[in-house]
Amino acid sequence: MMDGGARVAPPRYACTWVPGFAAAALVRQDPALRGHPVAALRGASLRTVVAVTGAAAARGARPGMSASEAATRVPELHARLEDLEAERAATGALLDMAWATSPRVELVEPGCLVLDLAGLTALLGDERKIGERLLAAGETIGLPVQVGIGSTRTVARLAARLGPTVLTVPPGDEAVFLAPRPLALLAPPPDLAAALTRWGIETLGALAPLPTPALLTRLGPAAVQLQALARGADLGPFVPHLLPEPCREAVTLDWEVPSLPALAFVLERLLARLAARLALREAGALGLRLTLQLADGGTHAHRLGIAAPLRDGRTLGRLLRTELEALRLPAPVVAVALEAEPAPLAALQTDLFAPPRSSPRELGEILGRLAALVGPDQVGAPRLRDTHHPDARAVGAFPGEPSTPVAGAPPLWLTGATLVRRRLVPARPARVECQTGRPVRVEAEGLRGPVVAQAGPWRSAGEWWADTAWAREEWDIALPDGLACRLVRDLTTGEWAIDAVYD
């Protein structure tokens, strides 16, 4: 196809499909079910099978069966009620998997996505490699993905359903690929399927060449739409999913958990799944939001802030357990949800000539433990308040990206000075003897003696308009043993203190 003299590549699409999505979501939630026949049920009293895994289908279980019939056909069947939270989390994981490959993703239905492959072969390799990449990502998130690739979204979806791994339909071979496929592959309405069967139409190749006007007259618009699908046509435009899904994992417990330490295994599984999704996003967690549903109908929400983005599940688990050690709940837990706040991972080294930066994993874990020990309000980056008071300091949030020092620049404390002044917090009370207003002798814990050299005073004051008014004077002194320190006198009380020592 030509557009203004330039050749435009024909569209190509990939479809990822999870067979028995509701049952696959249950297996993803409980990895112990992997490899066993599993069925997802719906209903209160008369329960019906809505989805089965491949192992259950191979033994004769089918959607639409009653729970009792499925259990009779497959005695070892693990039948569980469908879990909407597990399906929602699995859908989010599928979207993360798709966005890691293509920026244009359409959510067709739960368990089925279509990716626009335009321009991706130059970045990721041929279509076979893209399909294998999607298969590997499906294993990472714990879902049995089948991939189909074709020139239309319909062809890609049908190829994905035929599986079992990656099935590619080359351009121009759509009719040959579709012709022998059974009509049931399109899941037509039962009455329409019965009418076409009476006519002897059982394959897509038999339906596609029929005259469309006659088909519309005899069977209505539904038959015309079915024929368009049998020809591999798309019924609507590509509608990309624009908003990223929250990175959220949840589980409904089969039993009541009376204490948070007993939830350690459940939290570990949720964090492992979150870590896999964060890896697909090439991001880390800057915070975790834990929501607990309690047996008395209440809800407990807790947020864990993390100083540096992390995606290591074990490290996040240690931080979360440390944070929750002192928490006491009024009732047992029946459901758990954990949501990560994604943030880009900081580079460990941004300059070949600058010192290496701290590992985000180690830094985040250390700061998280400190926050659990002294409180989150006491851990952070230092901040100066808008005042001249030397003790007017505060703790604030860490910046998103710390500045990089200039290679070869001296430390700030060496600029224009040869000594380091080390503040004492709190200041050490002292008794000072003065002559003509100047200190001549000092006594304090750990030091005593006459002043052999002095400099000062430097006076400062502030906040005179408020109850927090302050005024002070400062002296630098030296003692006979070579110790140098900073003396401070509070001009409102007359009390002296050792404010700092020089190293």
Burial 364-394 (b: 16+ CB within 10 A, else e): bbbbbebbbeeebeebbeeeeeeeeeeeeee
DSSP helix/strand/coil, 56: helix
**pLDDT at 13 (0 to 100):** 96
**pLDDT at 27 (0 to 100):** 93
Q: What average pLDDT does range 216-242 have in this prediction?
A: 92
Judge whether residue 133 has pLDDT over 90.
yes
Q: What is the DSSP letter of 101?
A: T
263 and 326 Cβ atoms separated by less than 8 Å: no
The label of the residue with tokens 């600029």 reads 415
Cα 110 to Cα 14: distance, rounded to the nearest angstrom: 16
DSSP helix/strand/coil, 4: coil
Contacts 24+ apart (CB under 8 A), 75-78: 76/36, 76/37, 77/37, 77/38, 77/39, 78/33, 78/36, 78/37, 78/38, 78/39
Rounded CA Rg of the chain: 34
Mean pLDDT of the chain: 84
Run of H or E residues at 16: strand 13-17
**pLDDT at 1 (0 to 100):** 46
Q: Say whether the peptide bond before residue 426 is cis (omega within 30 degrees of 0).
A: yes
CATH class of 247-347: alpha beta
Q: Say whether the peptide bond before residue 360 is cis (omega within 30 degrees of 0).
A: no
Amino acid at position 445, single letter: E
**pLDDT at 403 (0 to 100):** 38
Token pair in block for residue 501:
């020592």
Vertex 37 angle, CA 32 and 38, to 5°? 75
Cα 417 to Cα 425: distance, rounded to the nearest angstrom: 22
DSSP string, 82-123: --HHHHHHHHHHHHHHHHTT-S-EEEEETTEEEEE-TTTHHH
Q: What average pLDDT does range 386-410 have in this prediction?
A: 54
Q: What average pLDDT does range 63-74 have in this prediction?
A: 92
Count other C-beta atoms under 10 Å from residue 58's C-beta.
Answer: 11
**pLDDT at 354 (0 to 100):** 63
**pLDDT at 379 (0 to 100):** 74
Cα 78 to Cα 215: distance, rounded to the nearest angstrom: 44
The label of the residue with tokens 């539904």 reads 222
146 and 134 Cβ atoms separated by less than 8 Å: no
The label of the residue with tokens 């069967």 reads 197
Judge whether residue 17 has pLDDT over 90.
yes
Domain 13-168 falls in which CATH fold?
Answer: MutS, DNA mismatch repair protein, domain I (3.40.1170)
Judge whether residue 413 has pLDDT over 50.
no
Please measure the distance between the N-terminal and C-terminal CA atoms of the chain and give it in whole angstroms: 77
Q: What average pLDDT does range 248-273 have in this prediction?
A: 86
pLDDT band at 308 (very low <50, low <70, confident <90, very high): confident
Cα 397 to Cα 503: distance, rounded to the nearest angstrom: 30
- No. of helices (H) and no. of strands (E), the chain: 15, 23
Instruction: Collect all residues with Cβ–Cβ distance below 8 Å to 453 and sequence separation of at least 6.
Output: 477, 478
Smallest Cα–Cα separation from 16: which of 132, 145, 137, 130?
145
Burial of 5 (0-12, 13-18, 19+ CB in 10 A): exposed
Q: What average pLDDT does range 247-273 have in this prediction?
A: 87
13 and 114 Cβ atoms separated by less than 8 Å: yes
80 and 100 Cβ atoms separated by less than 8 Å: no
**pLDDT at 158 (0 to 100):** 95
Smallest Cα–Cα separation from 286: which of 315, 312, 308?
308
Cα 355 to Cα 264: distance, rounded to the nearest angstrom: 38
Token pair in block for residue 366:
């250390």
Judge whether residue 409 has pLDDT over 60.
no
Q: What digits encode the pLDDT tens for the residues 159-173?
A: 999 977 899 999 999
**pLDDT at 329 (0 to 100):** 82
Burial of 148 (0-12, 13-18, 19+ CB in 10 A): buried
**Longest Cα–Cα distance in the chain:** 119
Judge whether residue 414 has pLDDT over 60.
no
Question: Which of 79-83, 88-92, 190-194, 456-460 shows the lowest mean pLDDT across its residues?
Answer: 456-460
Question: Which of 38-52, 259-273, 351-365, 456-470 shows the lowest mean pLDDT across its residues?
Answer: 351-365
**pLDDT at 408 (0 to 100):** 35
Cα 292 to Cα 324: distance, rounded to the nearest angstrom: 12
pLDDT band at 7 (very low <50, low <70, confident <90, very high): low
Token pair in block for residue 193:
């399927």
Backbone angles phi, psi at 240, to 5 degrees: -70, 150
Judge whether residue 314 has pLDDT over 80.
yes
Question: Which of 79-88, 104-113, 398-407, 448-457 shows the lowest mean pLDDT across its residues?
Answer: 398-407
Q: What digits encode the pLDDT tens for the residues 451-495?
A: 888 888 888 888 878 777 888 899 888 888 878 888 898 888 889
